[in-house]
Structure 1
Amino acid sequence: MDLDAELIALATQEDLPAELVWRLLGHPGARHQVALFRRDLTEEMIEGIIALGSTRTLAANGHVPPRLRIRFVEHPEPAVRSAVAASIRDEPPGTLARLADDPDQSVRWFLTLNDHLPPDLLARLAADPDSAVRSSVVSRWRDAPDAVRRALLTDTDPDVRRSSVRSYVPQADLLPGLLADPATRAAAVRHVVPTEGLATDPDSDVREAVAAHPDLPTGLRDQLAEDPDIFVRNAIAARSDTPAALRERVVATLEPDSELAEWMLSFNRGNHVCPPAAPPPPRLSLDEAEALLTRAGR
C-alpha cells in the first residue's frame, strides 16, 4: 500500500485522537474520507473542512449534527444541497419539504434517495416536472398507493412507464395499453399469460421476457430454446425447470462476442464469479499513525 493509500485508510480508523484527525485534513484524499465518514467531527473540524473546500463531501456525512447540517440545505451550490438531500432528516420540521421544492432537478433527484421521506413528499416527487425524479421515485417507493402507481404507469415519459411496469403490478385495465406500448411491452409480459404471439414477437426483449416467465408452457420453452437471439436462449438455460439435457444443448450455442456479453450471460444463469473482496486495511497503533503522518510531512 502506497503512502497516499495508507493515509486514506487511516482517515476512517476509529478512536483517532483529534490532533491526528486535524493533521489528516492536510491530505486531499484523507480529508475526503474524514469529511464523508467520520462520526467524531467537532464543530471546529467541520469549519476547517469547509475552509479547505470540501463542503460538498461534508454535506453527505449523515453523522454531522442536524443543527450544523441544516446550513447545507441553504447552500448556493446545487451539488452541496444534493449531497445533503440524500440523507438529512426533517430537522427542523420543513427541511425535507424545502428540498422537495428546490429549483434544481439534481437536488430533488437526490432527495428521492432519502429514507426519511414521508408519503406526502414521495407523492409530490412522483409528480415532479422532471422525468428522472419521477423515475427515481418508482425505484424507491415500491409500496406506492394505487393512485400514484396508476399515474406512473401511464406517465408521459416512456422510461418512467417502463420502470413502473418493472416495479409495480399494473392494474388489470392498464395491461392492454402496456402490452401495446413498445416502451412497456417487454416489461408487461410477466404480468400476462405467455402466448405464441409474444413468443414470436419481433422484439427480442419481449421474447426474452417470455423465456423468463414463471408460467412458461413447455412447448414455448422448447421453441424459445431455438431462438436466434443469444439472450433469449440464455434465459431458457437459466430456468430451473429446463431439463439438464436441454440446458446443456442451449449453453453450447451461447457464444458471446465480448467479455461484457459473456459476463451478462453468466450472471443471468447465476454462475458468474465475483472477485474476492479486498482485505480491510490494518489498524494502526497511535505510534504507527504518528509515524505515518510524520513520514507524509503532515
Structure 2
Amino acid sequence: MELDAELSALAAQEDLPADLVWRLLQHPGARRSVALLRRDLTDELIAEIIKLGSVRTLAANSSVPSRIRARFAEHPEPAVRCAVAASVRDEPLGLLARLAADPDPSVRSFLAMNEHLPAELLALLATDSEASVRSSVIQRWRDVPEDVRRMLLRDADPGIRSGSLRAFVPPADLLPGLLAEPATRAAAIAYAVPTPELAADPDPDVRATVAAHPDLPPGLRDLLAGDADIFVRTAIAARSDIPPALREQVVATLEPDSPLAKWMLSFSRGTHTCPPAAPAAAKLTRQQAESLLAQAGL
C-alpha cells in the first residue's frame, strides 16, 4: 500500500489517540478520511478541519453534531450544502424545509435522497421546476401516493415519465397513452401484453423489452430470435422457455462487434465483474503509527 493510502487508512482507525489524529490533519488525504469517517470528532477537531478547508467532506459525516451540520446548510458553496442535505435530520426543526427551498437544484436533488425526509417534503420536491430534482424523488420514493404518481407519469419531461414507469406501477387508465408514446413505450411494456406491433417496433429498446417479457408468446419469441439487434437476441437467448436448438442458434450470433457493446452486454448476461475490494488495512499499534507519521514528515 502506498504511503498516502496508509495514512488515509490510519486516519479512519478506531480508537486512534487524539494526538495522532491531530497530526494526520496536516496530510490532505488523511484529513479527508478524518473528516468523513471518524465518529469521535471533538468541537476543536471540527474547527481545525474547517479551518484547513475540508468542510465539504466534513458536511457528509453524519456523526458530526446536528448543531454544526445545521450551520453547513447556510454555507455559500452548494457542494457543502449538498453534502449535508443528503443525510441531515430535521434538527433544528425546519432545517429540511429550508433545504427544500435551496436556490441550487443540486442541493434539492441530494435532499430528495435523504432517508429522513418526510412525505410532505418529498411531495413538494416532486413538483420541483428542475427535472433532476423530480428524478431524485422517483429514485428515492417507493410508496408514492396515487396523486403524486399520476402527476409524475404525466410529467412534461419524457425522462420523468419513463423513470416513473420503471419505479411505479401505472394506473390502468394511463397505460394506453404511455404505450402509445415512443418515449415511454419501452418502460410501459412491462405492464402490457406483448403484441406483434410491439415486437416490430422500430426502437430496439422496445423490442428488447418485449423479448424479455415473461408472457411473450412462442411465436413472437421465435420471431425476435432473428432480430437485427444483438441486445434483443441476447434477451431471447436468456429466456427459460426457449428450445435448446433455438438457443444454440441464437447464441451463435451474439458475438459483440465493439468493446462498448461487449461491456454493455456483460450486465444483461451477468458476466460483469467489479474489481475485488481492497483488503482491510491492519490495525496499527501506536509505535507503528508513529513510524508511519515520521515517514511522512508529520
* Equivalence map 1:200-279=2 (5 Å): 200-279=200-279
Alignment partners' CA distance in 2, 1:276 and 1:57: 25
**Kept in 2: contact 1:126–1:134 (CA 8 A):** yes
- Cα distance, 1:10 vs structure 2: 1.0
Alignment partners' CA distance in 2, 1:262 and 1:251: 14
The match for 2:33 is: 33
Alignment partners' CA distance in 1, 2:241 and 2:275: 29
- Cα distance, 1:244 vs structure 2: 3.2
- Cα distance, 1:180 vs structure 2: 1.5
The alignment partner of 1:26 has SS state of coil
What amino acid maps onto 2:277 in structure 1?
A: A
The alignment partner of 1:45 has SS state of helix
The match for 1:75 is: 75
CA-atom RMSD in angstroms: 1.2
| Unaligned segments of structure 2, at least 5 residues | none
**Kept in 2: contact 1:162–1:183 (CA 8 A):** yes
Alignment partners' CA distance in 2, 1:136 and 1:267: 23
- Structure 1 residues 279 and 247 mapped into 2: Cα distance closer, same or farther (>3 Å)? farther
* Equivalence map 1:159-198=2 (5 Å): 159-198=159-198
Matched, 1:285 2:285: yes
* Equivalence map 1:152-163=2 (5 Å): 152-163=152-163
1:39-90: CA deviation from partner (whole Å, max 9, x where unpaired): 0111000000000001111001101011221110111221111110000001
1:81-130: CA deviation from partner (whole Å, max 9, x where unpaired): 11100000011111101100111111101101100011000000000111
1:163-195: CA deviation from partner (whole Å, max 9, x where unpaired): 011111111111111111111011111110000
Alignment partners' CA distance in 2, 1:186 and 1:98: 38
Alignment partners' CA distance in 2, 1:258 and 1:282: 42
Moved more, 271-280 or 21-30: 271-280
What amino acid maps onto 2:15 in structure 1?
A: D
- Structure 1 residues 22 and 84 mapped into 2: Cα distance closer, same or farther (>3 Å)? same
**Kept in 2: contact 1:86–1:114 (CA 8 A):** yes
**Kept in 2: contact 1:238–1:270 (CA 8 A):** no
Moved more, 194-203 or 4-13: 4-13
Alignment partners' CA distance in 1, 2:225 and 2:242: 10
The alignment partner of 2:271 has SS state of coil
Identity of aligned residues (%): 70
The TM-score normalised by the length of structure 2 is 0.97
What amino acid maps onto 1:248 in structure 2?
A: E
The alignment partner of 1:282 has SS state of coil
Alignment partners' CA distance in 1, 2:41 and 2:144: 37
Alignment partners' CA distance in 2, 1:219 and 1:100: 51
Alignment partners' CA distance in 2, 1:249 and 1:11: 56
Alignment partners' CA distance in 2, 1:278 and 1:243: 43
Matched, 1:134 2:138: no
The alignment partner of 2:202 has SS state of coil
Moved segments of 4+, more than 6 Å: none
Matched, 1:110 2:110: yes
- Cα distance, 1:16 vs structure 2: 0.3
The alignment partner of 1:10 has SS state of helix
The alignment partner of 2:58 has SS state of helix
Alignment partners' CA distance in 2, 1:86 and 1:243: 49
The match for 2:8 is: 8
Moved more, 120-129 or 251-260: 251-260
What amino acid maps onto 1:213 in structure 2?
A: H
Moved more, 112-121 or 245-254: 245-254
- Cα distance, 1:149 vs structure 2: 0.4
**Kept in 2: contact 1:237–1:269 (CA 8 A):** no
The match for 1:97 is: 97
- Cα distance, 1:287 vs structure 2: 1.0
Equivalent pairs, count: 298
- Cα distance, 1:242 vs structure 2: 2.5
